[in-house]
Structures are given as structure tokens and as C-alpha cells.
Structure 1
């Protein structure tokens, strides 16, 4: 995924399925200047990761 699409998904009022290494994630923030995204893995709010948006897949 590219930064522009990650930002669109983050700002969208719709629920768009995104995965990281096959596991569902929610995009919580997109750092456009660095090409990174903070995501929540699964349904556990405390389980967050910051990863390259290139690792994210839209399903």
C-alpha cells in the first residue's frame, strides 16, 4: 500500500479491511513524511505497532 491510500483509509468513514502479515489491523495514524503507519493489531487497543505502509495490504 502507498502512503496516499493509507491516509485515505484512515480518514474514511467507511470500514475498509486492512491486514498486516495476514492479520487484521486498524490504522490509527499515518506519518506521511516518513511513510509509516501506527496500527492496532486485532481487537486489543494496547497492541499497537508502527510499520512501513508498504507492509499493509487492503483486502
Structure 2
């Protein structure tokens, strides 16, 4: 995924189907300067982590 799309998803009120390492995740915030996203798995919101935006996959 590119950084601009990750930003769009993070500010959208519509939930997007985003995958990180085979698990559905929620994008909380995107740092455009270093192309990192703050995410958490939908099933485990306590496991927040920063990951490279290019590792995120959007499924339609």
C-alpha cells in the first residue's frame, strides 16, 4: 500500500479491509515522514504496533 492511501483509510469513517501479516488490522495513524503506520489487529486492539506502510495490503 502506498502512504497516501494509508492516510485516506486512517481518516475515513468507513472501515477498510486492511491486512498485515495475514491478519485484519485497523490503521490508527500514518506518519508520512517515515512511511510508518500505527496499527492494531481487530481481534486484539491492545497489540498496537508501528509497521512500514508498504507491508499493509488492502483487500476490496
Q: TM-score range by the shorter chain?
A: over 0.9
Structure 2, unpaired ranges of 5+:
none
Q: CA deviation at 1:45?
A: 2.0
Aligned to 1:40: 40
**Residues 35, 53 of structure 1: 8 Å contact kept:** yes
Aligned to 1:10: 10
Structure 1, unpaired ranges of 5+:
none
Give the structure-1-normalised TM-score.
0.93
Q: CA deviation at 1:24?
A: 0.3
What is the aligned residue count? 59
Cα RMSD between the aligned structures? 0.8
Give the structure-2-normalised TM-score.
0.91
C-alpha separation between the residues in 1 aligned to 2:21 and 2:45?
18
